[in-house]
Structure 1
């Protein structure tokens, strides 16, 4: 199986439990074990995962030329009009025959981002983002604080609320 040869179908024993409208776009076996990274129109199935990671849940994806490193986001708090997100541990997979997996991951993660901006805050900063989730109308607004930012400081929370509202209003005007 060559680097660009993905004409073969994903073997049935490596196929995750797809939803009715979910399609496999690319796949690649991992170097160690019998795991497979599977890219679909709805998200990313990682080896030994019990569920699909939606494109809007992927905070960062890095392709080294041999390894795919995925940093997924997790909700740590919910505030009025947005979610506060944190990073889960990085999952790294060596893909000796990556095929279209890296390109599809990049395309899908980037395509899920509707709006993103970083603002400095005392002691750190915050990234405000609006992401599209497959099969869901509209966007989900999230914030991710830089390490060291005091997320429990009432002034930081109030400033974050103000910045998110301003981003939401600006994006509504752009529609």
Structure 2
């Protein structure tokens, strides 16, 4: 498995706007349509990456728990579907239903949004506060498909709890590790 780390977009960055096709609903959705009342989590993921597959159940569980607290979750796939047809919009829709995604799964066909967020890998996670200011970026937790550590979501949950409690996140933010985004 190739291991690519997050680029770690600077904290305080305002979330780049977008309008992308939601493979589940078939609608064009914007950041403004989807942002959360208290926080917004943007996740660059894809269907086939073993790092994403490894954390999918925890991502779904965290999204369900925190949605009730005013946190919105948005998944985006930016992979080149010509060379990676398993990440096509049709297969994204099927994958979202199979995995039980309760959040939109958007297709970034031009890859402009991944570039705007300086996304590098899947999963690449960003947490923005109510003003869409970046307060966390990086890993979900220390678990990887081959390291034997359980998937807990502790880093992401801690970041979300800090936002919800209006506390500064003093923990070191570690980059995510995963498959590189499949650039055209």
| TM-score, normalised by the number of residues in structure 2 | 0.30
Greater fraction strand: 1
Greater fraction helix: 2
Q: Looking at CA atoms only, which structure, 1 or 2, has the larger radius of gyration?
A: 1
RCO greater where, 1 or 2, for CA within 8 Å and sep 6 or more?
2
| TM-score, normalised by the number of residues in structure 1 | 0.31
